[in-house]
Amino acid sequence: MNKMKKIKTISDFSRIPDCILMDIGTGTKDILCFSAGRTLENNVKLVIPTPANILAEKIENENRDLKISGYTVGGGYLAKVLKHHCEKGFKLQMERMAALTVRNNLEEVLESGIEVCERIENPDYFFDEIELEKHFSFLKSHGENTAEISLVGISAQDHGFHTNEESSRKNRFKYFFQQLEKDPDPSNLVFTPENLPDVYGRLKSAVECVRKFNPALSIILIDTSFSAILGCPYDPRVSAISGPVLYINFGNGHTMACILYSGKIQAFFEHHTRLLREDPGKIKDFMVRMCEGKLTSEEVFLDEGNGCFTFEAQPFSKISAVVVTGPQRVLMASSGIEGYIEASPAGDMMMTGPIGLLKGYALRDKKH
């Protein structure tokens, strides 16, 4: 990026190089091509169907033996479709990294009838949810100078490695807790390839995908549930709030809540959105007790959620504001919590994830 050009963006992001940022969720893949020389609103933005769902729809209609190569792709529906393909009596061969799409444990993948190979020639499908070649081509065709892009930000959900005896839900939350128990600083949930824990197979696959495309690109990684929360304060209504704030991200797959104050995480919660949709009235009860330190992780797990922990308890009345984001935020209207703010940073709720990646980069840049 030309350092002499006038900076027009938010001051937090003025030092961030030109980049492409993608938040890969259950339903959509939200993309921001960012340059600090523009206002956030004038950068290229895309909201497209998530690659996992497109692949699932195609494979679901296949009635033949299949060979699949490529990288790890997220999405529970796609994993079910792949296992069902074997159940229909067809042979399914997958390269090792692509096979981790089905389960983070290859033993369980093999048990489902899938044959795992190190390399497959002439595959029927190539798994790639990052799709940098496609996105760079699109940006070039619309006049963007992709040669200036030096950073890729990726936000995706990763349950982490687990054995047959372990719960993927408990494991996912255990890994969150391990990153935060000594210091509940949001920057501890922001990773680069150098400090990304080995347990995160999907994110490691994303790193390999970027490096295969261009090894010179820098990479920042955040779990998709948390990146949206980091993006919310860039709505001016939210940035004006002082005191502890309760953020709730209603994603298509997961709902994550987090209390942030003075740059620290005070409490953290994650559940499945579909289950909260069945009884949205429980949302207020969960949020109040999380805030007050009266909600245990085991209780959330037994309710088929992932978990909860509270580092600093306080009365719910001390919360300065409740801020909501996510494509399923309509659930908040039935929660019993009133007076909440629906965050729309840069005027677009679907950009909270990519803008959260910008915040994640800024946090690490400040810390290091």
Instruction: For residue 199, name the pLDDT band (cuts at 50, 70, 90).
Output: confident
Of 46, 2, 3, which is closest to residue 28 (Cα–Cα)? 46
Which pLDDT score, from 0 to 100, does residue 361 have? 95
Third-level CATH fold of 51-127:
Endonuclease; Chain A (3.30.870)
Residues 319-349 have pLDDT tens digits of 999 999 998 999 999 999 999 999 999 889 9
Which pLDDT score, from 0 to 100, does residue 358 have? 96
Instruction: Tell me, yes or no, if the two domains 11-46+129-225 and 236-343 fold the same way.
Output: yes
Residues 342-356 have pLDDT tens digits of 999 988 999 999 999
Q: Which residues contact 241 (CB under 8 A, 6 or more apart)?
A: 320, 321, 323
Which pLDDT score, from 0 to 100, does residue 285 have? 97
Of 19, 12, 17, 14, which is closest to residue 1 (Cα–Cα)? 17
Sign of the CA dihedral with 312 first, then 315, 318, and 324 last: positive
pTM to 2 decimal places: 0.92
Ordered alpha helix ranges (H), the chain: 51-60, 76-87, 96-99, 106-111, 132-141, 168-180, 201-213, 224-231, 236-239, 273-278, 282-291, 297-302, 352-367
Mean pLDDT of 87-92: 96
pLDDT reading at 158 higher than 90: no
Domain 236-343 has CATH 3.40.30: no
**Unique residue bearing structure tokens 């399914």:** 92
CATH of domain 11-46+129-225: 3.30.420
Which pLDDT score, from 0 to 100, does residue 8 have? 52
Q: Which residues contact 124 (CB under 8 A, 6 or more apart)?
A: 62, 66, 67, 68
Work out the end-to-end distance of the chain between its first and last CA atoms, rounded to an integer number of angstroms: 21
Of the chain, the percentage scoring pLDDT greater than 70 comes to: 95
List beta partners, residue 154. 22, 221
pLDDT reading at 315 higher than 80: yes
| CA–CA gap between residue 287 and residue 121 (Å, rounded) | 51
The residue extents of the domains of the chain are 11-46+129-225, 51-127, 236-343
Which pLDDT score, from 0 to 100, does residue 10 have? 77
Torsion angle in degrees (nearest 10) through CA of 40, 352, 261, 340: 110
